[in-house]
Amino acid sequence: MLLKLAKIVGVLCIASVHTLAQECSEPIKPEQYVGTPFEHFLPPSINSEVTFFKVRDPIGEFACESDDDSRANLSLLNYMSLDTRNQRHNPSTLMRAVIVVHGLNRDPWNYHAATVQALAKASAQDPTKNLDTVAVMAPYFPNGDDKGFAYPWDDEGQDLAGRAHSPALVWWTSAWSAGAVNNYPPRTRSVSSFAVLDQVVQWFGDRQRFPSMQQIVVAGHSLGGQMVQRYAAVGRKAREELGVEVPVDYWVGDPNSLVWLNETRPLPVESCPEYDHYREGFASYAAYGADHTGIEMNYNFALVDAGSEAIIENFQSKSVHWARATRDLGDHPGSECGAYTQGKDRNERFFAFVRQFPPACESALSCDTVDFVDASHDAPSLFGDESGLARLFHDNFYGRGQFAPDFGYPRQTEHDNPHPNVGRLGEALLGADDGVYAGGMRYKGCWSDVDRAQTERTLPELVYDGPENSRSFCTRKCVEDGYKVAAVGGSSCYCGSMVGRQAVEVPPSSCTARCPGDGGQVCGGDTRLSVFSQDILV
Ligand SMILES: *[C@@H]1O[C@H](CO)[C@@H](O)[C@H](O)[C@H]1NC(C)=O
Ligand SMILES: *[C@@H]1O[C@H](CO)[C@@H](O)[C@H](O)[C@H]1NC(C)=O
């Protein structure tokens, strides 16, 4: 009840549950530099200092400034940039804030440094973008493996509260990436990592403090990209719900899995009954992380309760900038089975998501973009790419709503071009093949086959497996045998009359294997088939 009452951060806060709802009217005031310092051994990083951001208990119990209850004593470690004279920023010159979330390895110093290095590149292109006008903050979401390094830990402590006695905010394993409440300090387990991002956004978005602020970018790569994608989906709207007039953009680089906005998945779900559980879907949202902290999720329940249409609307109201490294065809080992119902790897999951929930650029305040970068799974390559410089630093720098068009051609699908570069509109999609094969068969794209989600073959008959296989060879063979559909995967040639009911089209980047019988042709890929037919497929 209390939780529902105080769900709008900063509007209402309740001093104590023990005294009868003693309300205080002051808003929650998170603050950079005034968080309680504690001992840590974080490495230094260029153009930055390690600071303590004071986080207010977001459920409103211990939120008032005057409340000096120790339970309100919460500090978030972060790397905060210094200006061009190596001093703390002059608040009146800051025009932009880039908040960059680390990955699985929880190394904010590397992410901060990579972002500052990218800013130096942007500065070389346009000197008005520099450390006097752009603040870079890399928050740290530590876990239990970081004890004694990122926060004090007393092995001699009598109980958990005695061992984890500092005000440092710490989360259980990777639960920070999906908005779970903190695990330490155990006296105050109420701080969703998403509420932390809300408070950072509110701090930078306060024009009383930063009168020239024009744009905030919340960026993350890999597990940090997962966090930002989930935060964009379930996160409160900056203007309407956080009271932040400054536009907030969400930059999502190469997440391993995504939170799907409704229950429909591209690949079969039969072998993964829990496919829709949060973090890959929204079922059991409340329970996420609770098995470890004993505390249920407390972030934006109202939205999740309202269902998928409301979640889709919330996500689509955000400006989401997707960065896809085209050589990153990896998959995090040990992914939840739900991830395999989205696609076999990071690349397919991204394309399946944008096919189901197409990005759109309707206005400067709601403009999604999709950028391809010739890179592997590597954050600095993406930040420093032309597209990274645009999204992180240049776009809407002066608050005039100017955004660079999508980067990274050739396009792969019809769903990945929300803000087209008009100069390249007519170009063929990657992997296009206009050839006419035996019996008038034509290329119908790259399709799934039996994998960790799909159990039934895409085409039933294996008619050939050997060194002569190619697109020309297999289509000829299938036509000779009286079939209408052909598919090649490496040395295998399959025929049938229609593709199986579990098969789905996947991006052309999943089919890049050279045909053994013709090195100039492509024959599917790992668990993927290049499909040909005389007419319709299904
Ligand atoms: C906050 O924590 C610090 C460090 O543990 C402690 O010195 C300080 O007294 C605490 N403040 C309050 C209000 O509890
Ligand atoms: C999920 O969204 C897709 C695309 O908007 C739609 O086709 C599908 O029917 C939706 N599924 C459910 C269960 O609402």
Ligand closest to CA 66: 1
Q: Whole-angstrom Cα distance, residue 507 to residue 525? A: 11
pLDDT of 291 reads 87
pLDDT in tens, 180-232: 999 999 988 999 999 999 999 999 999 999 999 999 999 999 999 999 999 99
pLDDT of 329 reads 97
Choose the residue to mutate in 62, 73, 163, 184 for probing ligand 1, maximizing ligand atoms within 8 Å of C-beta.
Answer: 73
Residue 486, classed as helix, strand or coil, is strand
Alpha helices, DSSP H only, in 235-378? 238-242, 290-293, 301-306, 308-316, 337-340, 346-356
Is residue 68 within 6 Å of ligand 1 at its C-beta?
A: yes
pLDDT of 340 reads 97
Rounded mean pLDDT, 409-421? 94
Choose the residue to mutate in 356, 357, 415, 504 for probing ligand 2, maximizing ligand atoms within 8 Å of C-beta.
Answer: 356
pLDDT of 56 reads 86
pLDDT of 335 reads 87
pLDDT for residue 120 is more than 80: yes
What distance in angstroms lies between residue 264's CA and the mean position of ligand 2's atoms? 6
pLDDT of 60 reads 65
Is residue 166 within 6 Å of ligand 1 at its C-beta?
A: yes
Ligand closest to CA 353: 2
pLDDT for residue 61 is more than 70: no
Ligand 1 atom at minimal distance to the Cα of residue 38: 4
Token readout for 449 is 């086959």
Is residue 300 within 6 Å of ligand 1 at its C-beta?
A: no
Rounded mean pLDDT, 393-409? 95
Residue nearest to atom 10 of ligand 2 (CA): 264
pLDDT for residue 62 is more than 80: no
Token readout for 373 is 């970068």
pLDDT for residue 24 is more than 70: no
Q: How many other C-beta atoms are found inside a 10 Å radius of the C-beta of residue 310? A: 14
pLDDT of 292 reads 87
In the chain, helix, strand, coil percent, each to 5? Answer: 25, 20, 55
What distance in angstroms lies between residue 297's CA and the mean position of ligand 2's atoms? 25
Residue nearest to atom 4 of ligand 2 (CA): 356
Q: Whole-angstrom Cα distance, residue 60 to residue 25? A: 11
Rounded mean pLDDT, 265-281? 97
Q: Residue 393 carries which DSSP code?
A: I
Ligand 2 binding residues, C-beta < 6 A? 262-264, 308, 356
pLDDT for residue 12 is more than 50: no
pLDDT of 124 reads 98
What distance in angstroms lies between residue 203's CA and the mean position of ligand 1's atoms? 22
pLDDT of 504 reads 97
pLDDT of 5 reads 34
Residue nearest to atom 12 of ligand 1 (CA): 70
Ligand 1 atom at minimal distance to the Cα of residue 165: 5
Rounded mean pLDDT, 378-403? 97
Is residue 36 within 6 Å of ligand 1 at its C-beta?
A: yes
pLDDT for residue 397 is more than 60: yes
Ligand closest to CA 260: 2
Residue nearest to atom 1 of ligand 1 (CA): 73
Q: Residue 184 carries which DSSP code?
A: B
pLDDT for residue 19 is more than 70: no
User: Mean pLDDT of all residues in the chain?
Assistant: 92
- Range in 37-51, 64-78, 326-340 the model is least confident about: 64-78
Q: Whole-angstrom Cα distance, residue 382 to residue 324? A: 8
Strands (E), 55-105: 75-81, 96-101
Confidence class of residue 70 from pLDDT cuts 50, 70 and 90?
A: confident
Share of the chain above pLDDT 90, in %: 86
Tracing tokens 């900056």 back to the chain, one arrives at: 238
pLDDT for residue 147 is more than 80: yes
pLDDT of 14 reads 34
pLDDT of 28 reads 62
Residue nearest to atom 9 of ligand 1 (CA): 70
pLDDT of 20 reads 31
∠ CA 229-10-216, nearest 5°, is 40
Confidence class of residue 364 from pLDDT cuts 50, 70 and 90?
A: confident
What distance in angstroms lies between residue 8's CA and the mean position of ligand 2's atoms? 29
Residue nearest to atom 11 of ligand 1 (CA): 70
Residue nearest to atom 4 of ligand 1 (CA): 166
CA of residue 374 relative to chain centroid, distance? 19
Residue 206, classed as helix, strand or coil, is coil
pLDDT of 64 reads 62
More confident position, 334 or 350: 350
Q: What is the pTM of this model?
A: 0.94
Share of the chain above pLDDT 70, in %: 92
pLDDT in tens, 280-312: 999 999 999 998 889 999 999 999 999 999 999
Ligand 1 atom at minimal distance to the Cα of residue 70: 14
pLDDT in tens, 78-104: 999 999 999 999 999 999 999 999 999
Confidence class of residue 425 from pLDDT cuts 50, 70 and 90?
A: confident
Q: Whole-angstrom Cα distance, residue 524 to residue 184? A: 49
pLDDT in tens, 27-43: 667 888 989 999 999 99
pLDDT of 34 reads 86
What distance in angstroms lies between residue 155's CA and the mean position of ligand 1's atoms? 20
Residue nearest to atom 6 of ligand 1 (CA): 36
What distance in angstroms lies between residue 282's CA and the mean position of ligand 2's atoms? 14
Residue nearest to atom 14 of ligand 2 (CA): 262
